[in-house]
Amino acid sequence: MLAPVNTNKVNLLGFDKKGLEAFFVELGEKPFRATQILKWLYQEDVTDFEQMTNLSKSLRQYLQEHCCITPPEISVAQQASDGTRKWALQMSCGNRVETVFIPEENRGTLCVSSQVGCALACTFCSTAQQGFNRNLSTAEIIGQLYVAQRELGKSRRITNVVMMGMGEPLLNFDNVVAAMRLMMDDFAYGLSKRRVTISTSGVVPAMYRLTQECDVSLAVSLHAVNDELRNILVPINQKYPLKELLAACRDNVEHSPRKCITFEYVMLAGINDSVAEAKALLRLLKDIPSKMNLIPFNPFPNSLYQCSSPEAIDRFRAVLHNAGMVTTVRKTRGEDIDAACGQLVGKVNDKSRRAEKLKLASSSNVPRI
């Protein structure tokens, strides 16, 4: 059991390298202390300041008195029949978020949350039903990776991180970017920028800012080929319609010519899964280097939709594949512990009564193309 957070102490998990350098300079120390601390925390797994032997005795004493290294606490741990692992992590204020590890033969992917709940109200997503509570801090975001790697031990390494858990990462920009910088820092986790992916539903101004400030892989939750349908499935489209979203995607790849955008497309029976829509998707993305990730819908209580049939998904995939677009169908993982895509709901009370609103909306007709 982890000790409660001492709110009078500074949690060093909350700093990326630049932040740590500023912290130590303010103390009158040299900036290289930041590198030493990063290596102790993330490479040596040392949390006792007294064991950080390359720090001066006076600095170790100061850190002991004024700082702490406090990751989130595991509230519930589950393992699915396919090896997927999910942790409900409790933050110091009592909020919980969910983090999922997906093992594969040649890699291990951690799905990380960025917010408690989500404000975007995508109608096919279970997390959307609970409403929005708050942003996670940098310490709470990187803490998910810290806890997961400790739990996995030396038997499994986390090789990829996807910011695809609870919340919209780009609405928590500063904390998410600081955490991703730690993930990629050679003195911390040292992950390749191609192995750190941020997923967005289309917060266009933040997409442009991300392109300028942090070179990571970008995934975009698309799910529809016109504004009429996307306004319903992904309501932020009403603020940033497809034309603006795709312009931001083009800007992203133009700044890194070898990059392509991964587009995510949830397969909803009778809504967005026809051959005609697959052809429209090709036209929509014709000038954007793209990979397509088709996601079979995971039903949840009061959900408005059903998953497309395997035959419909295969027809849709074939249209894209035959046109030369790299297309994968996401394999459903961790379904027996509610860890599959779109199923992360945590333990947060719904303060927005969104579940009621979605249930009432189920009687409405959802237009299709």
Say whether 260 sits in a helix, a strand or coil.
Answer: coil
- Which residues, including other chains, have CB under 8 Å from residue 365's CB and lie 6 or more apart? none
What is the CB-side half-sphere exposure of residue 196 using CA atoms within 13 A? Answer: 21
Say whether 116 sits in a helix, a strand or coil.
Answer: strand
User: Alpha helix locations (H) across 124-172?
Assistant: 138-152
Catalytic choice (21, 68, 73, 98): 98
Angle at 350 between CA 96 and CA 206, to 5 degrees: 70
Please name which of 161, 219, 218, 225 lies closest in space to residue 190, comparing C-alpha atoms: 161
Instruction: Give the residues across from 162 on adjacent strands.
Output: 111, 197
Q: How far apart, in Å, are the Cα atoms of 104 and each of 26, 191, 356?
A: 44, 17, 38
Q: How far apart are CA 108 and CA 84, in angstroms?
A: 10
Q: Can 98 be counted among the known catalytic residues?
A: yes
Task: Lay out the sheet containing 196-200: strands in order across.
Answer: 73-79, 85-90, 96-103, 108-111, 160-163, 196-200, 217-221, 261-267, 290-296, 326-329
Catalytic residues: 98, 341
